[in-house]
Structure 1
Protein backbone atom coordinates (compact mmCIF):
# COMPACT_ATOMS: atom_id res chain seq x y z
CA UNK A 1 0.00 0.00 0.00
CA UNK A 2 2.99 2.30 -0.30
CA UNK A 3 2.61 5.24 -2.61
CA UNK A 4 3.88 8.80 -2.93
CA UNK A 5 0.21 9.81 -2.89
CA UNK A 6 0.20 9.25 0.88
CA UNK A 7 2.37 12.31 1.42
CA UNK A 8 -0.53 14.49 0.40
CA UNK A 9 -2.28 13.54 3.63
CA UNK A 10 0.07 13.65 6.66
CA UNK A 11 -2.77 12.54 8.96
CA UNK A 12 -2.23 9.02 7.65
CA UNK A 13 1.18 8.90 9.36
CA UNK A 14 2.28 8.68 12.97
CA UNK A 15 2.98 12.20 14.22
CA UNK A 16 6.13 10.99 15.98
CA UNK A 17 7.33 8.78 13.11
CA UNK A 18 6.30 10.50 9.86
CA UNK A 19 7.47 7.54 7.78
CA UNK A 20 5.08 5.06 9.42
CA UNK A 21 1.50 4.67 8.23
CA UNK A 22 -1.22 3.96 10.75
CA UNK A 23 -4.97 3.81 11.09
CA UNK A 24 -5.13 4.22 14.87
CA UNK A 25 -5.73 7.50 16.72
CA UNK A 26 -4.81 8.54 20.25
CA UNK A 27 -8.03 8.58 22.23
CA UNK A 28 -7.13 11.91 23.86
CA UNK A 29 -5.50 14.12 21.24
CA UNK A 30 -6.85 12.23 18.17
CA UNK A 31 -3.45 12.27 16.47
CA UNK A 32 -2.40 9.26 14.39
CA UNK A 33 0.08 6.97 16.16
CA UNK A 34 1.97 3.87 15.03
CA UNK A 35 2.08 0.63 17.09
CA UNK A 36 5.38 1.64 18.74
CA UNK A 37 3.81 4.83 20.10
CA UNK A 38 0.60 3.23 21.38
CA UNK A 39 -0.02 2.65 25.07
CA UNK A 40 -2.97 0.35 25.69
CA UNK A 41 -5.62 1.74 28.02
CA UNK A 42 -8.82 0.06 29.27
CA UNK A 43 -10.52 1.55 26.20
CA UNK A 44 -8.38 2.45 23.21
CA UNK A 45 -4.79 3.65 23.13
CA UNK A 46 -3.02 6.93 23.86
CA UNK A 47 0.20 8.48 22.63
CA UNK A 48 3.36 8.94 24.75
CA UNK A 49 2.76 12.68 25.27
CA UNK A 50 -0.79 12.18 26.49
CA UNK A 51 0.36 9.36 28.73
CA UNK A 52 3.05 11.55 30.27
CA UNK A 53 0.54 14.36 30.80
CA UNK A 54 -1.95 12.02 32.39
CA UNK A 55 0.68 10.57 34.71
CA UNK A 56 1.68 14.05 35.84
CA UNK A 57 -1.89 15.08 36.54
CA UNK A 58 -4.07 14.44 39.52
CA UNK A 59 -5.91 11.66 37.71
CA UNK A 60 -2.78 9.70 36.92
CA UNK A 61 -3.38 7.27 39.78
CA UNK A 62 -5.65 5.04 37.71
CA UNK A 63 -2.92 4.61 35.13
CA UNK A 64 -0.04 3.98 37.52
CA UNK A 65 -2.04 1.38 39.42
CA UNK A 66 -2.91 -0.70 36.38
CA UNK A 67 -1.72 -4.32 36.64
CA UNK A 68 1.76 -4.80 35.27
CA UNK A 69 0.43 -7.12 32.61
CA UNK A 70 -1.69 -4.31 31.14
CA UNK A 71 0.87 -1.51 31.31
CA UNK A 72 2.88 -1.18 28.16
CA UNK A 73 5.04 1.69 27.02
CA UNK A 74 4.07 0.77 23.46
CA UNK A 75 2.36 -2.11 21.71
CA UNK A 76 4.40 -4.36 19.51
CA UNK A 77 4.14 -3.73 15.81
CA UNK A 78 4.19 -7.48 15.24
CA UNK A 79 0.90 -8.71 13.73
CA UNK A 80 0.23 -11.23 16.47
CA UNK A 81 -3.34 -11.99 15.38
CA UNK A 82 -2.11 -12.76 11.88
CA UNK A 83 0.63 -15.06 13.16
CA UNK A 84 -1.82 -16.78 15.51
CA UNK A 85 -4.32 -17.42 12.72
CA UNK A 86 -1.60 -18.76 10.43
CA UNK A 87 -0.23 -21.02 13.18
CA UNK A 88 -3.64 -22.31 14.27
CA UNK A 89 -4.75 -23.07 10.71
CA UNK A 90 -1.45 -24.77 9.90
CA UNK A 91 -1.63 -26.91 13.03
CA UNK A 92 -5.19 -27.96 12.18
CA UNK A 93 -4.02 -28.98 8.72
CA UNK A 94 -1.17 -31.06 10.15
CA UNK A 95 -3.53 -32.71 12.64
CA UNK A 96 -5.77 -33.59 9.72
CA UNK A 97 -2.90 -35.52 8.14
CA UNK A 98 -2.82 -38.00 11.03
CA UNK A 99 -4.23 -41.32 9.80
CA UNK A 100 -7.86 -41.69 10.84
CA UNK A 101 -8.10 -38.13 12.13
CA UNK A 102 -8.35 -36.16 8.86
CA UNK A 103 -11.94 -37.12 7.97
CA UNK A 104 -13.05 -36.39 11.53
CA UNK A 105 -11.46 -32.91 11.51
CA UNK A 106 -13.08 -32.09 8.18
CA UNK A 107 -16.43 -33.41 9.40
CA UNK A 108 -16.11 -31.38 12.58
CA UNK A 109 -15.18 -28.05 11.00
CA UNK A 110 -16.06 -28.03 7.29
CA UNK A 111 -19.16 -26.05 6.35
CA UNK A 112 -22.38 -27.23 4.78
CA UNK A 113 -25.61 -25.24 4.84
CA UNK A 114 -27.34 -28.11 6.61
CA UNK A 115 -25.64 -27.01 9.84
CA UNK A 116 -27.39 -23.62 9.86
CA UNK A 117 -30.82 -25.24 10.20
CA UNK A 118 -31.95 -25.49 13.82
CA UNK A 119 -32.22 -29.13 14.76
CA UNK A 120 -30.13 -32.12 15.75
CA UNK A 121 -27.25 -31.08 13.48
CA UNK A 122 -27.32 -27.38 14.35
CA UNK A 123 -23.64 -26.36 14.53
CA UNK A 124 -23.41 -22.65 13.68
CA UNK A 125 -19.73 -22.33 14.59
CA UNK A 126 -18.91 -24.05 11.29
CA UNK A 127 -19.71 -20.73 9.59
CA UNK A 128 -16.32 -19.50 10.83
CA UNK A 129 -14.34 -22.64 11.71
CA UNK A 130 -14.48 -23.62 8.05
CA UNK A 131 -11.38 -21.41 7.72
CA UNK A 132 -9.38 -23.99 9.70
CA UNK A 133 -9.85 -26.85 7.23
CA UNK A 134 -8.16 -27.12 3.83
CA UNK A 135 -8.26 -29.57 0.95
CA UNK A 136 -4.53 -30.02 0.45
CA UNK A 137 -1.03 -28.67 0.97
CA UNK A 138 -1.24 -26.12 -1.85
CA UNK A 139 -4.65 -24.94 -0.68
CA UNK A 140 -3.49 -24.19 2.86
CA UNK A 141 -0.08 -22.91 1.74
CA UNK A 142 -1.50 -20.31 -0.66
CA UNK A 143 -4.16 -19.17 1.77
CA UNK A 144 -1.71 -18.82 4.64
CA UNK A 145 0.80 -17.01 2.44
CA UNK A 146 -1.91 -14.52 1.45
CA UNK A 147 -3.02 -14.14 5.06
CA UNK A 148 0.56 -13.56 6.21
CA UNK A 149 1.23 -10.98 3.49
CA UNK A 150 -2.03 -9.07 3.92
CA UNK A 151 -2.08 -9.31 7.70
CA UNK A 152 1.39 -7.82 8.09
CA UNK A 153 0.11 -4.66 6.40
CA UNK A 154 -3.48 -4.51 7.63
CA UNK A 155 -3.18 -5.56 11.27
CA UNK A 156 -0.75 -2.78 12.35
CA UNK A 157 -2.87 -0.35 10.36
CA UNK A 158 -6.21 -1.33 11.91
CA UNK A 159 -5.25 -2.70 15.29
CA UNK A 160 -5.59 -6.29 16.44
CA UNK A 161 -9.27 -6.37 17.38
CA UNK A 162 -10.42 -4.59 14.23
CA UNK A 163 -8.33 -6.92 12.11
CA UNK A 164 -9.75 -9.99 13.84
CA UNK A 165 -13.30 -8.65 13.42
CA UNK A 166 -12.64 -8.10 9.71
CA UNK A 167 -11.30 -11.64 9.28
CA UNK A 168 -14.18 -13.32 11.12
CA UNK A 169 -16.91 -11.24 9.47
CA UNK A 170 -15.44 -11.94 6.04
CA UNK A 171 -15.38 -15.67 6.78
CA UNK A 172 -18.99 -15.43 7.93
CA UNK A 173 -19.94 -13.57 4.77
CA UNK A 174 -18.44 -16.28 2.59
CA UNK A 175 -20.30 -19.04 4.42
CA UNK A 176 -23.60 -17.17 4.29
CA UNK A 177 -23.43 -16.72 0.52
CA UNK A 178 -22.63 -20.42 0.13
CA UNK A 179 -25.70 -21.26 2.21
CA UNK A 180 -27.83 -18.92 0.07
CA UNK A 181 -26.62 -19.85 -3.41
CA UNK A 182 -25.10 -23.32 -3.07
CA UNK A 183 -27.07 -25.13 -0.36
CA UNK A 184 -25.85 -28.61 0.40
CA UNK A 185 -22.35 -27.90 -0.92
CA UNK A 186 -19.40 -28.80 1.28
CA UNK A 187 -16.75 -26.07 1.42
CA UNK A 188 -13.41 -25.74 3.21
CA UNK A 189 -10.72 -23.12 3.46
CA UNK A 190 -9.94 -19.56 4.52
CA UNK A 191 -10.30 -18.10 1.03
CA UNK A 192 -13.46 -16.15 1.88
CA UNK A 193 -11.75 -14.45 4.81
CA UNK A 194 -8.66 -13.71 2.70
CA UNK A 195 -10.84 -12.14 0.02
CA UNK A 196 -12.34 -9.99 2.77
CA UNK A 197 -8.87 -8.74 3.70
CA UNK A 198 -8.23 -7.85 0.06
CA UNK A 199 -11.53 -6.01 -0.21
CA UNK A 200 -10.93 -4.04 2.98
CA UNK A 201 -7.40 -3.15 1.91
CA UNK A 202 -8.75 -1.82 -1.39
CA UNK A 203 -11.35 0.42 0.30
CA UNK A 204 -9.02 1.66 3.04
CA UNK A 205 -6.24 2.29 0.54
CA UNK A 206 -8.59 4.37 -1.59
CA UNK A 207 -9.68 6.32 1.49
CA UNK A 208 -6.09 7.05 2.50
CA UNK A 209 -5.18 8.17 -1.01
CA UNK A 210 -2.95 5.22 -1.86
CA UNK A 211 -2.35 3.77 -5.28
CA UNK A 212 -4.55 0.66 -5.13
CA UNK A 213 -3.99 -0.45 -8.71
CA UNK A 214 -1.98 -3.50 -7.63
CA UNK A 215 -4.74 -4.59 -5.24
CA UNK A 216 -7.36 -4.14 -7.96
CA UNK A 217 -5.27 -6.28 -10.32
CA UNK A 218 -4.90 -9.01 -7.71
CA UNK A 219 -8.65 -8.99 -7.08
CA UNK A 220 -9.32 -9.17 -10.80
CA UNK A 221 -6.92 -12.06 -11.37
CA UNK A 222 -8.34 -13.99 -8.45
CA UNK A 223 -11.83 -13.38 -9.75
CA UNK A 224 -10.88 -14.83 -13.14
CA UNK A 225 -9.22 -17.87 -11.52
CA UNK A 226 -12.29 -18.40 -9.35
CA UNK A 227 -14.54 -18.84 -12.39
CA UNK A 228 -12.17 -20.97 -14.48
CA UNK A 229 -13.84 -24.21 -15.62
CA UNK A 230 -12.82 -27.13 -13.47
CA UNK A 231 -11.24 -24.95 -10.78
CA UNK A 232 -13.39 -26.59 -8.08
CA UNK A 233 -13.42 -23.23 -6.26
CA UNK A 234 -16.40 -22.01 -4.28
CA UNK A 235 -16.98 -18.65 -5.94
CA UNK A 236 -19.81 -18.01 -3.49
CA UNK A 237 -17.37 -18.07 -0.56
CA UNK A 238 -14.92 -15.78 -2.37
CA UNK A 239 -17.54 -13.24 -3.45
CA UNK A 240 -19.32 -13.31 -0.10
CA UNK A 241 -16.11 -12.74 1.84
CA UNK A 242 -14.95 -10.03 -0.56
CA UNK A 243 -18.23 -8.10 -0.37
CA UNK A 244 -18.23 -8.17 3.42
CA UNK A 245 -14.58 -7.09 3.43
CA UNK A 246 -15.45 -4.10 1.24
CA UNK A 247 -18.28 -3.17 3.61
CA UNK A 248 -16.21 -3.55 6.79
CA UNK A 249 -13.35 -1.61 5.22
CA UNK A 250 -15.78 1.20 4.40
CA UNK A 251 -16.99 1.21 8.01
CA UNK A 252 -13.42 1.45 9.31
CA UNK A 253 -12.57 4.21 6.84
CA UNK A 254 -15.58 6.30 7.83
CA UNK A 255 -15.39 5.86 11.62
CA UNK A 256 -11.78 6.67 12.47
CA UNK A 257 -12.47 9.36 15.08
CA UNK A 258 -12.57 8.43 18.75
CA UNK A 259 -16.07 9.85 19.07
CA UNK A 260 -17.18 7.35 16.41
CA UNK A 261 -15.85 4.23 18.15
CA UNK A 262 -19.23 3.28 19.57
CA UNK A 263 -20.86 3.77 16.18
CA UNK A 264 -18.15 1.63 14.61
CA UNK A 265 -18.79 -1.18 17.09
CA UNK A 266 -22.53 -1.11 16.51
CA UNK A 267 -22.07 -1.09 12.75
CA UNK A 268 -19.90 -4.20 12.98
CA UNK A 269 -22.48 -5.87 15.21
CA UNK A 270 -25.17 -4.86 12.72
CA UNK A 271 -23.25 -6.48 9.86
CA UNK A 272 -22.92 -9.72 11.83
CA UNK A 273 -26.62 -9.71 12.75
CA UNK A 274 -27.65 -9.00 9.16
CA UNK A 275 -25.52 -11.88 7.87
CA UNK A 276 -26.98 -14.28 10.40
CA UNK A 277 -30.48 -13.04 9.58
CA UNK A 278 -29.92 -13.97 5.93
CA UNK A 279 -29.59 -17.59 7.02
CA UNK A 280 -33.32 -17.60 7.68
CA UNK A 281 -33.80 -17.78 3.90
CA UNK A 282 -32.11 -21.17 3.30
CA UNK A 283 -33.53 -22.46 6.57
CA UNK A 284 -37.06 -22.02 5.18
CA UNK A 285 -36.47 -22.50 1.48
CA UNK A 286 -34.16 -25.53 1.51
CA UNK A 287 -34.99 -27.21 4.80
Structure 2
Protein backbone atom coordinates (compact mmCIF):
# COMPACT_ATOMS: atom_id res chain seq x y z
CA UNK A 1 0.00 0.00 0.00
CA UNK A 2 1.14 3.53 -0.77
CA UNK A 3 1.94 5.63 2.25
CA UNK A 4 -0.73 8.19 3.04
CA UNK A 5 -0.11 11.55 1.32
CA UNK A 6 0.43 14.49 3.72
CA UNK A 7 -2.46 16.97 3.80
CA UNK A 8 -1.90 20.21 1.88
CA UNK A 9 -1.92 23.35 4.09
CA UNK A 10 -5.16 25.29 3.91
CA UNK A 11 -4.78 28.70 2.20
CA UNK A 12 -6.19 31.60 4.24
CA UNK A 13 -6.94 35.22 3.43
CA UNK A 14 -3.95 37.51 3.95
CA UNK A 15 -6.13 40.05 5.82
CA UNK A 16 -8.49 37.62 7.58
CA UNK A 17 -6.42 34.72 8.77
CA UNK A 18 -9.47 32.86 10.11
CA UNK A 19 -11.02 32.56 6.63
CA UNK A 20 -9.92 29.73 4.30
CA UNK A 21 -9.98 30.72 0.65
CA UNK A 22 -9.14 29.39 -2.76
CA UNK A 23 -8.99 32.84 -4.34
CA UNK A 24 -6.01 35.12 -4.87
CA UNK A 25 -5.23 38.64 -6.14
CA UNK A 26 -4.26 38.52 -9.80
CA UNK A 27 -1.89 41.43 -9.24
CA UNK A 28 0.17 40.45 -6.19
CA UNK A 29 -0.77 36.76 -6.01
CA UNK A 30 -1.63 36.78 -2.32
CA UNK A 31 -4.63 34.73 -1.15
CA UNK A 32 -7.71 36.77 -0.30
CA UNK A 33 -11.32 36.14 0.64
CA UNK A 34 -14.19 37.46 -1.51
CA UNK A 35 -14.67 40.44 0.86
CA UNK A 36 -11.10 41.62 0.20
CA UNK A 37 -11.22 41.32 -3.60
CA UNK A 38 -12.58 43.74 -6.17
CA UNK A 39 -13.35 43.02 -9.84
CA UNK A 40 -10.71 44.32 -12.26
CA UNK A 41 -10.38 44.49 -16.04
CA UNK A 42 -8.24 41.36 -15.75
CA UNK A 43 -9.08 39.07 -12.84
CA UNK A 44 -9.57 40.57 -9.42
CA UNK A 45 -7.42 42.80 -7.22
CA UNK A 46 -7.12 42.89 -3.45
CA UNK A 47 -7.98 46.09 -1.58
CA UNK A 48 -4.32 46.66 -0.65
CA UNK A 49 -3.26 46.74 -4.31
CA UNK A 50 -6.15 49.07 -5.14
CA UNK A 51 -5.15 51.51 -2.40
CA UNK A 52 -1.51 51.43 -3.49
CA UNK A 53 -2.58 52.18 -7.06
CA UNK A 54 -4.75 55.11 -5.92
CA UNK A 55 -1.85 56.62 -3.97
CA UNK A 56 0.49 56.42 -6.97
CA UNK A 57 -2.02 57.87 -9.45
CA UNK A 58 -1.72 61.66 -9.90
CA UNK A 59 -4.76 63.47 -8.50
CA UNK A 60 -6.98 65.37 -10.90
CA UNK A 61 -6.80 69.13 -10.34
CA UNK A 62 -9.19 71.92 -11.25
CA UNK A 63 -8.34 75.14 -13.07
CA UNK A 64 -7.49 76.77 -9.73
CA UNK A 65 -4.95 74.06 -8.90
CA UNK A 66 -7.02 72.45 -6.15
CA UNK A 67 -7.47 68.69 -5.98
CA UNK A 68 -10.75 67.69 -7.56
CA UNK A 69 -13.15 66.20 -5.01
CA UNK A 70 -13.95 62.50 -5.37
CA UNK A 71 -17.62 63.43 -5.27
CA UNK A 72 -19.20 66.41 -6.98
CA UNK A 73 -21.59 67.11 -4.09
CA UNK A 74 -21.11 70.75 -2.97
CA UNK A 75 -21.03 70.01 0.75
CA UNK A 76 -19.78 73.48 1.78
CA UNK A 77 -22.58 75.22 -0.11
CA UNK A 78 -25.19 72.96 1.44
CA UNK A 79 -23.68 73.49 4.91
CA UNK A 80 -23.74 77.28 4.53
CA UNK A 81 -27.35 77.17 3.40
CA UNK A 82 -28.26 74.93 6.33
CA UNK A 83 -26.56 77.26 8.82
CA UNK A 84 -28.42 80.27 7.47
CA UNK A 85 -31.73 78.42 7.68
CA UNK A 86 -31.06 77.23 11.22
CA UNK A 87 -30.16 80.73 12.42
CA UNK A 88 -33.25 82.14 10.72
CA UNK A 89 -35.43 79.48 12.32
CA UNK A 90 -34.09 80.41 15.76
CA UNK A 91 -34.82 84.11 15.24
CA UNK A 92 -38.30 83.34 13.87
CA UNK A 93 -39.05 81.12 16.88
CA UNK A 94 -37.83 83.76 19.32
CA UNK A 95 -39.86 86.52 17.66
CA UNK A 96 -42.90 84.39 16.85
CA UNK A 97 -42.96 85.79 13.31
CA UNK A 98 -41.67 84.61 9.92
CA UNK A 99 -41.72 88.05 8.31
CA UNK A 100 -40.63 90.20 11.26
CA UNK A 101 -38.18 87.86 12.91
CA UNK A 102 -35.91 90.75 13.88
CA UNK A 103 -38.48 91.94 16.43
CA UNK A 104 -38.25 90.20 19.76
CA UNK A 105 -35.35 87.90 18.82
CA UNK A 106 -32.46 88.05 21.29
CA UNK A 107 -30.16 86.35 18.78
CA UNK A 108 -30.94 88.94 16.12
CA UNK A 109 -30.28 91.80 18.54
CA UNK A 110 -27.00 90.23 19.64
CA UNK A 111 -25.68 89.44 16.13
CA UNK A 112 -26.95 92.24 13.86
CA UNK A 113 -24.13 94.33 12.37
CA UNK A 114 -23.97 97.62 14.27
CA UNK A 115 -20.56 99.33 14.00
CA UNK A 116 -20.67 101.10 17.41
CA UNK A 117 -21.34 97.73 19.07
CA UNK A 118 -18.38 96.20 17.22
CA UNK A 119 -16.25 99.11 18.38
CA UNK A 120 -17.37 98.31 21.93
CA UNK A 121 -15.86 94.82 21.60
CA UNK A 122 -18.68 92.74 20.13
CA UNK A 123 -16.60 91.43 17.22
CA UNK A 124 -18.77 88.36 16.74
CA UNK A 125 -21.27 90.62 14.95
CA UNK A 126 -18.82 90.94 12.05
CA UNK A 127 -19.43 87.30 11.06
CA UNK A 128 -22.67 86.52 12.88
CA UNK A 129 -24.62 89.21 11.02
CA UNK A 130 -23.91 87.37 7.77
CA UNK A 131 -26.16 84.52 8.91
CA UNK A 132 -29.14 86.70 9.89
CA UNK A 133 -31.97 87.72 7.54
CA UNK A 134 -34.85 90.18 7.64
CA UNK A 135 -37.80 87.91 6.90
CA UNK A 136 -38.25 84.75 4.89
CA UNK A 137 -38.13 86.47 1.47
CA UNK A 138 -34.72 87.97 2.26
CA UNK A 139 -33.52 84.51 3.30
CA UNK A 140 -34.90 82.74 0.21
CA UNK A 141 -33.40 85.25 -2.23
CA UNK A 142 -29.93 84.95 -0.72
CA UNK A 143 -30.05 81.17 -0.39
CA UNK A 144 -31.25 80.77 -3.97
CA UNK A 145 -28.33 82.89 -5.22
CA UNK A 146 -25.91 80.97 -3.00
CA UNK A 147 -27.20 77.66 -4.32
CA UNK A 148 -26.96 78.73 -7.97
CA UNK A 149 -23.43 80.18 -7.97
CA UNK A 150 -21.93 78.43 -4.95
CA UNK A 151 -22.02 74.93 -6.39
CA UNK A 152 -19.95 75.79 -9.46
CA UNK A 153 -17.47 77.90 -7.53
CA UNK A 154 -16.95 75.11 -4.99
CA UNK A 155 -16.29 72.65 -7.81
CA UNK A 156 -13.61 74.89 -9.36
CA UNK A 157 -11.91 76.33 -6.28
CA UNK A 158 -12.19 73.31 -4.02
CA UNK A 159 -13.95 73.27 -0.68
CA UNK A 160 -11.37 75.00 1.51
CA UNK A 161 -10.62 77.84 -0.93
CA UNK A 162 -14.29 78.31 -1.68
CA UNK A 163 -15.07 78.64 2.04
CA UNK A 164 -12.18 81.09 2.40
CA UNK A 165 -13.52 83.25 -0.45
CA UNK A 166 -17.00 83.21 1.12
CA UNK A 167 -15.73 84.28 4.55
CA UNK A 168 -13.41 86.93 3.09
CA UNK A 169 -16.37 88.33 1.13
CA UNK A 170 -18.36 88.45 4.36
CA UNK A 171 -15.49 90.26 6.11
CA UNK A 172 -15.17 92.68 3.20
CA UNK A 173 -18.84 93.60 3.49
CA UNK A 174 -18.49 94.16 7.23
CA UNK A 175 -15.34 96.25 6.73
CA UNK A 176 -17.17 98.52 4.27
CA UNK A 177 -20.03 98.91 6.74
CA UNK A 178 -17.60 99.83 9.52
CA UNK A 179 -16.06 102.54 7.35
CA UNK A 180 -19.01 103.96 5.40
CA UNK A 181 -22.26 103.05 7.16
CA UNK A 182 -21.46 103.45 10.81
CA UNK A 183 -24.99 104.14 12.08
CA UNK A 184 -26.87 101.37 10.27
CA UNK A 185 -28.17 98.00 11.40
CA UNK A 186 -27.27 95.39 8.77
CA UNK A 187 -27.88 91.67 8.42
CA UNK A 188 -27.82 89.09 5.65
CA UNK A 189 -25.58 86.91 3.51
CA UNK A 190 -25.81 89.44 0.66
CA UNK A 191 -22.25 90.70 1.08
CA UNK A 192 -20.86 87.17 0.84
CA UNK A 193 -23.17 86.36 -2.10
CA UNK A 194 -22.01 89.48 -3.95
CA UNK A 195 -18.47 88.26 -3.33
CA UNK A 196 -19.40 84.98 -5.01
CA UNK A 197 -20.79 86.94 -7.96
CA UNK A 198 -17.36 88.51 -8.36
CA UNK A 199 -15.69 85.14 -7.85
CA UNK A 200 -17.60 83.34 -10.59
CA UNK A 201 -16.97 86.26 -12.97
CA UNK A 202 -13.22 85.88 -12.43
CA UNK A 203 -13.51 82.12 -12.92
CA UNK A 204 -15.35 82.56 -16.22
CA UNK A 205 -12.62 84.89 -17.47
CA UNK A 206 -9.93 82.44 -16.37
CA UNK A 207 -11.69 79.61 -18.22
CA UNK A 208 -12.01 81.86 -21.29
CA UNK A 209 -15.77 81.90 -21.18
CA UNK A 210 -17.97 84.95 -21.61
CA UNK A 211 -18.61 86.76 -18.30
CA UNK A 212 -21.26 89.04 -19.85
CA UNK A 213 -24.23 87.40 -18.14
CA UNK A 214 -22.62 87.76 -14.71
CA UNK A 215 -21.54 91.34 -15.39
CA UNK A 216 -25.13 92.21 -16.35
CA UNK A 217 -26.45 90.49 -13.21
CA UNK A 218 -23.97 92.36 -11.02
CA UNK A 219 -24.89 95.65 -12.70
CA UNK A 220 -28.60 95.07 -12.12
CA UNK A 221 -28.07 94.19 -8.47
CA UNK A 222 -25.82 97.19 -7.85
CA UNK A 223 -28.42 99.45 -9.49
CA UNK A 224 -31.10 97.99 -7.20
CA UNK A 225 -28.84 98.56 -4.20
CA UNK A 226 -28.48 102.22 -5.21
CA UNK A 227 -32.16 102.71 -5.97
CA UNK A 228 -34.09 101.05 -3.15
CA UNK A 229 -33.95 102.31 0.44
CA UNK A 230 -33.07 99.94 3.24
CA UNK A 231 -30.56 97.92 1.20
CA UNK A 232 -26.96 97.72 2.39
CA UNK A 233 -25.17 99.28 -0.59
CA UNK A 234 -21.74 99.42 1.05
CA UNK A 235 -22.03 95.92 2.45
CA UNK A 236 -22.79 94.64 -1.05
CA UNK A 237 -19.96 96.56 -2.70
CA UNK A 238 -17.48 95.60 0.02
CA UNK A 239 -18.35 91.92 -0.37
CA UNK A 240 -18.15 92.17 -4.16
CA UNK A 241 -14.69 93.75 -4.02
CA UNK A 242 -13.37 91.27 -1.46
CA UNK A 243 -14.67 88.18 -3.29
CA UNK A 244 -13.32 89.41 -6.62
CA UNK A 245 -9.86 90.14 -5.21
CA UNK A 246 -9.75 86.82 -3.36
CA UNK A 247 -10.52 84.85 -6.51
CA UNK A 248 -8.04 86.88 -8.55
CA UNK A 249 -5.42 85.86 -6.01
CA UNK A 250 -6.22 82.20 -6.60
CA UNK A 251 -6.83 82.14 -10.35
CA UNK A 252 -4.49 84.81 -11.77
CA UNK A 253 -1.87 85.92 -9.21
CA UNK A 254 0.26 82.73 -9.54
CA UNK A 255 0.64 83.46 -13.27
CA UNK A 256 1.39 87.11 -12.68
CA UNK A 257 4.22 86.31 -10.24
CA UNK A 258 5.38 83.40 -12.45
CA UNK A 259 4.92 80.59 -9.96
CA UNK A 260 6.26 77.75 -12.10
CA UNK A 261 5.17 74.70 -10.10
CA UNK A 262 1.70 73.70 -8.84
CA UNK A 263 2.98 73.78 -5.26
CA UNK A 264 4.23 77.36 -5.59
CA UNK A 265 1.02 78.40 -7.32
CA UNK A 266 -1.08 77.00 -4.48
CA UNK A 267 1.15 78.74 -1.94
CA UNK A 268 0.73 82.08 -3.71
CA UNK A 269 -3.04 81.61 -3.61
CA UNK A 270 -3.05 80.78 0.08
CA UNK A 271 -0.84 83.76 0.92
CA UNK A 272 -3.11 86.10 -1.06
CA UNK A 273 -6.20 84.83 0.78
CA UNK A 274 -4.50 85.25 4.15
CA UNK A 275 -3.36 88.77 3.23
CA UNK A 276 -6.90 89.79 2.22
CA UNK A 277 -8.37 88.37 5.43
CA UNK A 278 -5.80 90.24 7.52
CA UNK A 279 -6.45 93.44 5.57
CA UNK A 280 -10.22 93.18 6.11
CA UNK A 281 -9.78 92.60 9.83
CA UNK A 282 -7.31 95.49 10.01
CA UNK A 283 -9.82 97.84 8.34
CA UNK A 284 -12.51 96.73 10.78
CA UNK A 285 -10.14 97.29 13.70
CA UNK A 286 -9.07 100.72 12.46
CA UNK A 287 -12.67 101.77 11.98
CA UNK A 288 -13.56 100.45 15.43
CA UNK A 289 -10.80 102.56 17.01
CA UNK A 290 -11.99 105.73 15.30
CA UNK A 291 -15.65 105.26 16.25
CA UNK A 292 -16.79 107.14 19.34
TM-score w.r.t. length of structure 1: 0.71
Residue of structure 2 aligned with 1:96, choices 91, 98, 101: 91
Residue of structure 1 equivalent to 2:171: 172
Residue of structure 1 equivalent to 2:53: 52
What SS is found at the alignment partner of 1:184?
coil
Residue of structure 1 equivalent to 2:240: 242
What SS is found at the alignment partner of 1:281?
helix
TM-score w.r.t. length of structure 2: 0.70
The higher relative CO (CA closer than 8 Å, separation ≥ 6) is in: 1
Q: How is 1:1-287 mapped onto 2 (pairs within 5 angstroms)?
A: 52=53, 54-55=55-56, 75-100=70-95, 103-117=105-119, 121-230=120-229, 232-254=230-252, 255=254, 257-287=262-292
Which shows bigger deviation, 97-106 or 169-178?
97-106
Distance in 2 separating the partners of 1:259 and 1:126? 35
- 1:108-148, CA deviations, whole angstroms, 9 ceiling, x for partnerless residues? 2211112332xxx4121221121110001110000000000
Cα-Cα RMSD: 2.3
Unaligned runs of 5+ in 2: 1-49, 58-67, 256-261
Answer whether contact 1:183 1:282 (CA < 8 A) is retained: no
Unaligned runs of 5+ in 1: 1-48, 57-72
Which shows bigger deviation, 177-186 or 254-263?
254-263
Residue of structure 2 equivalent to 1:3: none
What SS is found at the alignment partner of 1:185?
coil
Distance in 1 separating the partners of 2:209 and 2:86? 35
- 1:149-186, CA deviations, whole angstroms, 9 ceiling, x for partnerless residues? 01111111110001100100000000010000011211
What SS is found at the alignment partner of 2:134?
coil
What SS is found at the alignment partner of 2:93?
coil
Distance in 2 separating the partners of 1:75 and 1:126? 35
Distance in 2 separating the partners of 1:168 and 1:74? 21
Aligned length: 219
Answer whether contact 2:190 2:236 (CA < 8 A) is retained: yes
Residue of structure 2 equivalent to 1:19: none
Higher Cα Rg, which structure:
2
- 1:188-237, CA deviations, whole angstroms, 9 ceiling, x for partnerless residues? 0000000000001111211210111110110010011111143x101010
